Amino acid sequence: MSCLCNHHLPPAHLGPKAVNAFITASLLAVATALSYFFFAIMHNPTSNIALIYILAVFLTARYTTGYLYGLFASLFGVVCVNFLFTYPFFELDFTLTGYPITFVAMFTISSVTSALTSNMKVQARLLSEHDKMFMDAEKEKMRANLLRAISHDLRTPLTSIIGSGIVYLENGPRLTDQEKTDLVSHILEDSNWLLNMVENLLSVTRINNETAKVNKSLEPVEEVLSEAVIRLRKRLPDSQVRVRVPDEVLMVPMDAVLIEQVLINLIENAIVHSQSTEPVECYVEDADTEVAFHVRDYGIGIPPEKLVTIFDGSSSTTSTSTDGRKGMGIGLSICKTIINAHGGSIGAVNQSSGAEFYFTLPKEEPNIGA
């Protein structure tokens, strides 16, 4: 039943009914040709020929839409077995001993097979539509979370920059050198924060909008983690980060740029919000099916009521930082989006001292054919 190869496919310009008719006719023609072949080389092959037509009915129901074509193929098969391959040949005779039951059974099996196959196709289509609706809902939720986080995390630094600029321009002659330095430092700090937020937003554009997935390639975990720490120290030169990775080289499928952004966000949040002078620990654990990244600080921890919603962007509205300018919302929301696009998981827990963020990435599946 390999008649649906490329050279047998119906022309693309045909309508759905013509395509279904073409597929049905092609399958029944092949079934009839195979039946003649078995009829010529075998003695009393009626039962085998009946199975060939039942297979043709199944394939007809599989590759056509609706029940009509499968039922037609069932009736056609019953008639052909009786008319072409049952003595007396080229005559319809359902009165022979045993044949009425055989033909009724064949027609029933063929009809039920056609109905079940068509129903399975309908169920598969409904399931596909449900999955698409779920994916669309998840993407809409992601957009809403990002917009909610952006409304705070981008507006607040901009307001601070504008306010500092106005104070400097209106009161410049009366400000001391130290006050001028403080204002410019605040402007620079908030500008760098905005730049980091823009980098976060740009990173989301690397995620496929239709599939919510990313293009992965095998990357060494140690190099990705090292590059993230180097990029972070360019922005926060005084940051202290302790890195620990397994001795063996770990190659994990990922988008390295996006995972670096996740690590930068988590480490920077730990440095800025922990209110601790202890170094931040960043380490990797290797498991059977996944690799886990951990970022641990020894600060004040996370309010318990925030642990459930900390990755949905709502934490930006109640920043725990002392200056009130830097929220965690947009960065953590984007972290969750990136990890979900990789097929991993992300979470946060409070330890006896400080908080710990972690995320997992699935390891490369073994190449069975190797």
Q: Is the pLDDT at 72 greater than 90, yes or no?
A: no
Please check whether residue 154 lies inside any domain of the structure.
no
Q: Is the pLDDT at 317 greater than 50, yes or no?
A: no
Looking at residue 324, what is its pLDDT?
A: 42
Please check whether residue 149 lies inside any domain of the structure.
no
Residues 254, 342: Cα–Cα separation, whole Å: 7
- Do 76 and 219 share a domain, yes or no? no
- Do 356 and 212 share a domain, yes or no? yes
Q: Which of 131, 159, 179 is the last residue of a domain?
A: 131
Q: Is the pLDDT at 48 greater than 80, yes or no?
A: no
Q: What is the pLDDT of residues 274-299, one digit of tens each?
A: 888 899 999 999 998 999 999 999 99
Q: Which of 131, 152, 185 is the last residue of a domain?
A: 131
Closest CA to 31 of 6, 8, 49, 5: 49
Q: Which long-range contacts (CB under 8 A, 24 or more apart) does 336-340 make?
A: 336/311, 336/312, 337/142, 337/146, 337/204, 337/207, 338/203, 338/204, 338/207, 338/214, 338/255, 338/258, 338/259, 338/261, 338/262, 339/262, 340/212
Q: What is the pLDDT of residues 211-235, one digit of tens each?
A: 667 889 999 999 999 999 998 888 8
Q: Is the pLDDT at 8 greater than 80, yes or no?
A: no
Domain that holds residue 353: 206-362
Of 91 and 215, which is predicted with more confidence? 215
| Amino acid sitting at position 172 | G
Looking at residue 299, what is its pLDDT?
A: 92
Q: What is the pTM of this model?
A: 0.56
220: CATH = 3.30.565.10
b/e sequence 17-53, b meaning 16+ C-beta within 10 Å:
eebbbbbbebbbebbbebbeeebeeeeebbeebbbbb
| Amino acid sitting at position 317 | T
